[in-house]
Amino acid sequence: MSDTGKEPVFLDGTESHDCAEVTASGRSVRSVLPALPVETPPVETPPVEAEQAPHVEVHVIETREEYLEAVSAIASGTGPIAIDAERASGFRYSQRAYLIQVFRRGSGVFLFDPPAIGSFAELDAVIRDEEWVLHAASQDLACLREVGLDPTRIFDTELGARLAGLPRVGLGTVVEDLLGIHLAKEHSAADWSTRPLPQSWLVYAALDVELLPDLRDAMAALLEDAGKSEIARQEFSAVLTREAKIVTGDAWRRLSGLHTVRGVHNLAIARELWGARDRFAREIDTAPGRLIPDSSLIAAAKAMPESRHGLASLRDFSGRASRSELPRWWAAIEVGRTTEDLPALRVTSEAMPPPRVWSDRNPEADKRLKAARAAITVVSIETRIPVENLLTPELLRRLAWTPPEPLEIGSVRSDLIGFGARQWQVDAIAQVILDAFVDGDQIIEPGVEPVS
């Protein structure tokens, strides 16, 4: 679990809560959130003195025998299942779990070593239909499902904190604010593939889940008091059914700095070096950037060395595997220099252009987007729900770029649902978006005479 998740922000990337103009006509905006008052009072928590939670020594379960005993103990517990997973992002190629923590009242805390245990089918059979409590569930569901753990109901305390209007949503901050316990987070970016795992790391991991049930109860009370329990239920359900984003196109074109490479053979070398690095990283399960950084691949592609010695002499070609795997990189460069399968210098895309160029490419869409952003920002302030939770920036851009026809409330609601918006979001902002689009279309550019 990472405690460095982004805090709630507005669609334009700011964190300001200053109210913007709503529409071109100055019309007041009011959203229609189900069972939610227009003005939700700020969340107030009583001041408490934070204390560092002590902990006894923690043991990692590494054998099937111990694992099955733990499954039996968890089955005898009561209440929701607190669960978390630790990966080795930035260290390993894979996003697999290297530690899974489970806590249940009446059972205790259990730390499992997934590579050693293998399948978690028995545990899944015991807890599958219970409510699982996670913090930032979207970060952990994929690696949990990889070992056979797949919930049917969740309570996401990070997402709940956003919906409740808390200013900061990291686990350590929320635990301290709501439970008065200081939760140290110094190991959140550690290499969890390390073996043996240090005891201080294990204590950190155990505390992550031991506090989740109490945090869940406190969060549920906040949401209930704010009239947002149904909103939270819909959002938690959406997290479970959200499909993973599929990477399309040529992955190598996402090399940082590729825009500085000129010439088709230079691009071919960049492509071949990226592929060689990716295959080797996958083979030894190491993050590609830890072998050779993107900047080194770009430097080699731009230099186009004519020999292996020339590559070895290239000062900007660095990284811990830059010299130990020199034959591998030189072979990739040779392929790039001689291949007839040359990449295109520019790739055409059907994707929408970035909003910064909309004023030139699609001025009408630009006006609709800006008007809707301002209007939704006001709804965000009134409801104390972050803008990106009211509606994702991508969805709003799609709607503004190609508005529904005819432009009326029914078609706006239909498009929102078709794009994956939840019912509460449609109820809250469909009319707001419609009004903003209509007003945006009526904005008169400076120096342009209105049509009489």
Phi, psi dihedral angles at 418 (to 5 degrees): -65, -30
Looking at every residue in the chain, the average pLDDT score rounds to: 88
Q: Given pLDDT bands bounded at 50, 70 and 90, which one contains residue 351?
A: confident
Answer yes or no: do 327 and 367 share one domain.
Answer: no
Answer yes or no: is 117 within a domain: yes
Confidence at residue 15, expressed as pLDDT on a 0 to 100 scale: 45
Confidence at residue 350, expressed as pLDDT on a 0 to 100 scale: 72
- Distance CA(228)–CA(153), nearest Å, equals 17
Domain around 430:
355-441
Answer yes or no: do 265 and 124 share one domain.
Answer: no
| Residue finishing a domain among 338, 370, 393 | 338
Percentage of residues of the chain with pLDDT beyond 90 = 79
Answer yes or no: do 434 and 408 share one domain.
Answer: yes
pLDDT single digits (tens) 107-151:
999 999 999 999 999 999 999 999 999 999 999 999 999 999 999
* Alpha helices (runs of H) in 147-211, residue ranges in sequence order: 157-164, 171-179, 199-210
Confidence at residue 243, expressed as pLDDT on a 0 to 100 scale: 77
| Residue finishing a domain among 162, 190, 225 | 225
Confidence at residue 348, expressed as pLDDT on a 0 to 100 scale: 73
Answer yes or no: do 278 and 398 share one domain.
Answer: no
Answer yes or no: is 155 within a domain: yes
Confidence at residue 421, expressed as pLDDT on a 0 to 100 scale: 96
pLDDT single digits (tens) 196-254:
999 999 999 999 999 999 999 999 999 999 999 999 999 999 999 987 776 666 899 99
Burial (0-12, 13-18, 19+ Cβ within 10 Å), 138 = middle
Answer yes or no: do 162 and 300 share one domain.
Answer: no
Answer yes or no: do 164 and 305 share one domain.
Answer: no
Confidence at residue 143, expressed as pLDDT on a 0 to 100 scale: 97
| Residue finishing a domain among 182, 210, 225 | 225
Confidence at residue 12, expressed as pLDDT on a 0 to 100 scale: 39
Answer yes or no: do 57 and 168 share one domain.
Answer: yes
Q: Given pLDDT bands bounded at 50, 70 and 90, which one contains residue 56?
A: confident
What does the H/E/C string look like for 351-385?
CCCCHHHHHHHCHHHHHHHHHHHHHHHHHHHHHCC
- Give the Cα-Cα-Cα angle 428, 434, 437 (nearest 5 degrees): 130
CATH of the domain at 373: 1.10.150.80
- Distance CA(320)–CA(291), nearest Å, equals 6
User: What is the amino acid identity at position 402?
Assistant: T
Answer yes or no: is 99 within a domain: yes
CATH of the domain at 185: 3.30.420.10
Answer yes or no: do 167 and 67 share one domain.
Answer: yes
Answer yes or no: do 139 and 195 share one domain.
Answer: yes
Helices then strands (H, E): number in the chain? 20, 8
pLDDT single digits (tens) 416-426:
999 999 999 99
Answer yes or no: is 16 within a domain: no
Q: Is the pLDDT of residue 306 over 60?
A: yes
* Alpha helices (runs of H) in 180-263, residue ranges in sequence order: 199-210, 212-225, 229-241
pTM: 0.83
- Distance CA(431)–CA(437), nearest Å, equals 10
**Lowest-confidence region among 35-44, 190-199, 396-405, 421-430:** 35-44
